[in-house]
């Protein structure tokens, strides 16, 4: 147990020491009149506080920090509007299984839900948070606060890692801390029954055309997946959250291409499918009619996921990482021929040859970006056409390197998430891929990036439109409307925030701009346009 000294401290002060004891090194938040007691101890703490320009930014930063570092992201907010503003990022973290702890103040105990017109009043703040969290609770005493922090971290280490929200009344934050502010030993994840592992091994060995699908819950176990595939000849598919789990050059790795009908067909025709750490959801497939005909071995830490939407022949409620390692060990010594690598090669070739004009252009741009960036770069993307293309086209060789808002699918994610990733993993380049409209959801966080004074590359794809929605309208026979916009002069905007700016006019210049930005001392915005691609290289 790790503890901090709390004699003479308020509960708000002791909270900071408790978070530090649980290993928290960074908090994203905005101080306000209701939560200042949470800030009293920060100047003498080892915790780094990063000040976003909006609580939405704080939440996305906590998300990006967690995805990149593997440690829970923590955000502080005020009562009412602070909590309301951070709910979109909490929802994104909930849908994508990201460990995030949001600690918010709330009205004094006596004022709760009374409708007296108090500042920042919400009738049911906890109920609002409960819509997008794994747990939302109120600390009515300092002892409650200790218990709730412990419960949140216990959930992060032992269950599906989803957000937790703790609201603390203003008067509780001011109460004497008392004793007991120690970090508690945390539980581990459930382990699979050895009999189930043996059954999984036997089932995979019997397969003639096996397939493997891994999601974010198994993104760190690529080595075990490789051994399973090479022992059985299975083709490997990943979700977007698991991009980079294996080297992109592995001959059996199809990649994050399940939205493609041919890729889905390969899974549907498999006689045994091993799926680990994935919901196999609509946002993984972009199809609602997908059915798995073969025998499905499903490994997940969430019992609900095991029950739907795809019925498992062998459901295993357990940690995906340990289970895959055990299956790989059970297949040790087996070696299959890699003839199905030709199927993977054909699939990849067909995807590229099937590019329409838009995707052929985006493939060129993404190819230049990939070649210009170091292999260890972390890329945070937004809901934009170039990011949708990158989901399938952009190769990665390291896990937790591609941060995309999959499930909730919100705009404005990329920039603040990249700032959070930068705070969590300081020794790797961090890059934003964002559209002109999505950037403006959280463009104010350029101020936060400038304030941090650390390298950050913002690759802005500017097509002066909500192009994906425009194209969807056209495809559905709707006259395009409300999809064009007046953009700011992004060069002046970057200058206003004191960050670097470049607008390359061709793809060679784009490569040079990225190389220059990698050596910059602070953030750089690189504005890319379709016209840039049209010019001869």
CA distances from 165 to 42, 105, 341, 380 (A): 20, 11, 46, 24
What does the pLDDT look like over 250-285, one tens digit per residue?
Answer: 999 999 999 999 999 999 999 999 999 999 888 887
Using CB atoms within 10 Å of the CB of residue 189, give its burial: 0 to 12 exposed, 13 to 18 middle, 19+ buried: middle
What does the pLDDT look like over 178-202, one tens digit per residue?
Answer: 999 999 999 999 999 999 999 999 9
Q: Is the peptide bond before 280 cis (omega within 30 degrees of 0)?
A: no
Q: Interhelix angle for 194-206 vs 320-330, to 10°?
A: 60
* Residues 190, 303: Cα–Cα separation, whole Å: 11
The first and second tokens of residue 256, run together, are: 């994050």
Task: Determine how many CB atoms are found less than 10 A away from the CB of residue 285.
Answer: 17
- Mean pLDDT score, 213-238: 96
* Residues 129, 162: Cα–Cα separation, whole Å: 13
Which CATH topology does 194-346 take? Rossmann fold (3.40.50)
- Mean pLDDT score, 503-525: 97
> Would you say residue 535 has pLDDT above 80?
no
- Mean pLDDT score, 224-234: 97
> Would you say residue 1 has pLDDT above 70?
no
Confidence of residue 387 (pLDDT cuts 50, 70, 90): very high
Beta bridge partners of 167: 104, 138
What are the phi and psi torsion angles at 303 (to 5°)? -60, -30
> Would you say residue 401 has pLDDT above 90?
yes
Beta bridge partners of 83: none
What does the pLDDT look like over 341-381, one tens digit per residue?
Answer: 999 999 999 999 999 999 999 999 999 999 999 999 999 99
Q: Which residue has the higher pLDDT, 335 or 286?
A: 335
Return the CATH architecture of domain 2-183: 3-Layer(aba) Sandwich (3.40)
What is residue 4's predicted lDDT score, i.e. its pLDDT? 54
What does the pLDDT look like over 102-123, one tens digit per residue?
Answer: 999 999 888 877 777 787 889 8
What is residue 465's predicted lDDT score, i.e. its pLDDT? 87
What does the pLDDT look like over 27-72, one tens digit per residue?
Answer: 999 999 999 999 999 999 999 999 999 999 999 999 999 999 999 9
Strands of the sheet containing 500-502, edge to edge, are 402-403, 378-381, 430-435, 456-461, 523-528, 500-502
User: b/e for 442-477, b at 16 or more Cβ within 10 A?
Assistant: bbbbbbbbbbbebbbbbbbbbbebbbbbbeebeeee
- Cβ-contact 296, 273 below 8 angstroms: yes
Report CA 39 to chain centroid distance, whole Å.
Answer: 27
Question: What is residue 159's three-state secondary structure?
Answer: coil
- Mean pLDDT score, 217-246: 96
What is residue 159's predicted lDDT score, i.e. its pLDDT? 95
Q: Which residue has the higher pLDDT, 285 or 99?
A: 99
Q: How far apart are the first and last CA of the chain?
A: 60
Q: Which single residue is written with the structure tokens 């409708």?
A: 115
Task: Tell me whether domains 2-183 and 194-346 share a fold.
Answer: yes
- Mean pLDDT score, 400-405: 97
Domain assignments of the chain as residue spans, ordered by start: 2-183, 194-346, 355-534
Nearest to 455 by CA among 378, 375, 507: 378
* Residues 361, 467: Cα–Cα separation, whole Å: 14
Confidence of residue 2 (pLDDT cuts 50, 70, 90): low
User: b/e for 328-350, b at 16 or more Cβ within 10 A?
Assistant: bebbeeeebeeebeeebeebbee
Nearest to 160 by CA among 285, 298, 303: 303
> Would you say residue 537 has pLDDT above 60?
no
What does the pLDDT look like over 293-313, one tens digit per residue?
Answer: 899 999 999 999 998 888 899
- Mean pLDDT score, 133-140: 97
Model's pTM, two decimal places?
0.95
Class of domain 355-534: alpha beta
């Amino acid at each position: 147990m790790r503890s901090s000294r709390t004699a003479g401290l308020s509960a708000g002060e002791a909270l900071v020491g408790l978070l530090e004891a649980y290993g928290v090194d960074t908090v994203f938040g905005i101080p306000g009149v209701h939560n200042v007691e949470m800030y009293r101890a920060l100047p003498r703490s080892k915790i780094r506080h990063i000040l976003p320009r909006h609580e939405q930014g704080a939440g996305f930063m906590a998300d990006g920090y967690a995805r990149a570092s593997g440690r829970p992201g923590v955000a502080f907010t005020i009562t009412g509007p602070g909590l309301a503003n951070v709910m979109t990022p909490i929802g994104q973290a909930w849908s994508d299984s990201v460990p995030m702890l949001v600690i918010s103040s709330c009205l004094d105990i006596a004022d709760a839900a009374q409708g007296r017109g108090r500042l920042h009043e919400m009738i049911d703040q906890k109920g609002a948070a409960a819509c997008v969290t794994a747990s939302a609770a109120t600390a009515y005493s300092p002892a409650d606060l200790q218990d709730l922090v412990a419960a949140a971290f216990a959930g992060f280490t032992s269950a599906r890692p989803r957000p937790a929200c703790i609201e603390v009344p203003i008067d509780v934050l001011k109460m004497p801390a008392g004793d007991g502010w120690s970090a508690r030993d945390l539980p581990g994840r459930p382990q699979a029954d050895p009999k189930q592992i043996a059954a999984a091994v036997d089932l995979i060995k019997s397969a003639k055309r096996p397939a493997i699908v891994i999601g974010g819950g198994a993104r760190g176990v690529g080595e075990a997946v490789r051994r399973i595939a090479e022992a059985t000849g299975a083709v490997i598919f990943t979700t977007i959250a698991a991009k980079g789990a294996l080297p992109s050059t592995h001959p059996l790795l199809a990649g994050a291409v399940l939205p493609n009908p041919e890729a889905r067909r390969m899974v549907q025709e498999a006689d045994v499918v091993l799926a680990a750490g994935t919901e196999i959801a609509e946002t993984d497939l972009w199809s609602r009619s997908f059915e798995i005909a073969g025998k499905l071995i499903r490994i997940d830490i969430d019992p609900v996921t095991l029950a739907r939407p795809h019925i498992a022949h062998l459901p295993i409620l357990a940690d995906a990482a340990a289970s895959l390692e055990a299956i790989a060990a059970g297949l040790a010594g087996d070696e299959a021929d890699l003839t199905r690598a030709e199927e993977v090669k054909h699939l990849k070739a067909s995807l590229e040859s099937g590019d329409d004009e838009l995707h052929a252009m985006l493939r060129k741009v993404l190819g230049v970006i990939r070649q210009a960036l170091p292999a260890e770069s972390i890329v945070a993307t937004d809901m934009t056409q170039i990011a949708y293309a990158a989901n399938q086209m952009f190769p990665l060789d390291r896990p937790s390197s591609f941060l995309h808002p999959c499930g909730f699918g919100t705009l404005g994610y990329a920039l603040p998430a990249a700032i959070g990733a930068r705070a969590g993993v300081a020794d790797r380049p961090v890059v934003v891929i964002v559209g002109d409209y999505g950037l403006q959801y959280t463009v104010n966080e350029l101020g936060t990036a400038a304030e941090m004074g650390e390298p950050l590359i913002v690759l802005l794809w500017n097509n002066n439109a909500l192009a994906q929605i425009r194209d969807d309208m056209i495809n559905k026979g709707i006259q395009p409307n409300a999809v064009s916009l007046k953009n700011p002069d992004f060069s002046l905007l970057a200058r206003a925030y004191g960050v670097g700016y470049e607008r390359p006019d061709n793809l060679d210049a784009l490569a040079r701009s990225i190389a220059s930005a990698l050596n910059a001392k602070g953030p750089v915005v690189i504005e890319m346009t379709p016209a840039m691609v049209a010019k001869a290289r």
